[in-house]
Amino acid sequence: MGIVNLTPDSFSDGGRLTDLDAALVHARQLIADGADILDIGGESTRPGAAPVSAEEEMRRVLPLIQALAAEGRTPLSIDTMKPQVARAAVAAGAGMWNDVSALRFAPDSLATAAELGCDVVLMHMLGEPRTMQAEPVYADVAGEVAAFLAARAEAALAAGAARERIWLDPGIGFGKHLTGHNLPLLAGLERLTALGYPVLLGASRKAFIGRLDGDAPPDQRLGGSVAVTLAGAARGVAMVRVHDVRETAQALKVWAAIEAAGSA
């Protein structure tokens, strides 16, 4: 899953894609680099991020979704918490709703997911982006995240969503201490994959990688991002959400070839 952030304030690439032409160039490059799906977002969910209106989100994302859907080159995902935005994005051509709030943001989130019938990603997050890093506490982070997501999946099923459309995301960096929670959660991903839903892992360029490497800035976290991808693949995740598609795809191809040779 290639990341396309149409935001001025995302932690790694905010402000880079300021117009439709630039966004199209970036999206097409991600496809050429090997992206199986593009995740398009118009509101930053970095720690401390301020919310934006549904109207502003749609102004940012809908022209790109419409343009890419018309080209028909790769599936599209809308990264939003708002049912109104998800509904408009699916109408414009998106086939997945990636929701960091796990369909808790609005009273009609669950019903909208069922109504749309698209794939939906349920992510774990404590609180909201503005507050999620304020003293998060877990006794067993992997177990608690798995239990939360299992409950959200059941809520989606009860609302009428199809089981085969549900994805889970552990929410690396969302209400987790940089290393004290993210690392044991990554080490325990089998507890999430064991629930029987495909798992999306999004850890590309995140702060805990920099913390482990002398506070490296976001544009110097490629090696750590690839390491997380391979750790996730070894634990059964179905898809990774990344900025650096070409390098990640190459790493996964080599890892898969080694695994295949070992089991031959």
The residues annotated as belonging to the active site are 206, 241
Distance CA 45, CA 234 (A): 27
Spatial CB neighbours of 38, under 8 Å, sequence gap ≥ 6: 1, 2, 4, 27, 30, 31, 68, 74, 75, 76, 77
With contact defined as beta carbons under 8 Å apart, do 18 and 10 qualify? Answer: no
Distance CA 249, CA 149 (A): 27
With contact defined as beta carbons under 8 Å apart, do 101 and 124 qualify? Answer: no
Nearest CA to 68 out of 5, 97, 100, 26 is that of 26
- Phi, psi angle pair for 18, to nearest 5°: -95, -10
With contact defined as beta carbons under 8 Å apart, do 16 and 22 qualify? Answer: yes
